[in-house]
Amino acid sequence: MTDLDIEHQDHAKPKTADFDAFFAEQAEQAPRQTLALFGRIYTLPESLPILFTLQAERLQNSDSPEDVRRMLTALYGGDVLDEWAEQGLTDRQLGILLIWSAAAIRSPGTVSMDRAAELHDEQAAGKAPGPNRAARRAKRKKAGSSGKRS
């Protein structure tokens, strides 16, 4: 076999699409948001992990601590749920932390901790739809009739 034959064979094979390399090149080099909680510093991911998004949707219909645990692990790593619970983190504080964290990942600096608390309290009072509630309503409208009453 000659060099020309080998070169021709290489061109006949499709190259493997290397998304690992592509995503590494695309990754932003901007500093990631950090936060302090119970004496530890946590560094948030550069973008929302799909596992967080899926778990957030699942939590709308679940009270399972395992679902909460998986969602927190996607953002903060490790088993922080038990650690934070032992430190006395409340349900409200967790909600505020999650709202702030998601906003800080998407667009750092756009939502203050005070604003995250307001958003949480509005959602808890039923004044504002939760982040996934509006999307579910939109899906139901599309799947249903034209919305006109008969």
Query: pLDDT tens-digit profile of 50-95?
Result: 888 887 787 777 778 888 888 898 899 888 999 999 999 999 999 9
Tell me, yes or no, if the pTM score tops 0.85: no
Distances (CA, A) of 141 to 114, 133, 136: 33, 13, 9
Q: Which has more confidence, 46 or 104?
A: 104
pLDDT for residue 131:
53
Residue 37 CA to residue 21 CA, distance in Å, equals: 34
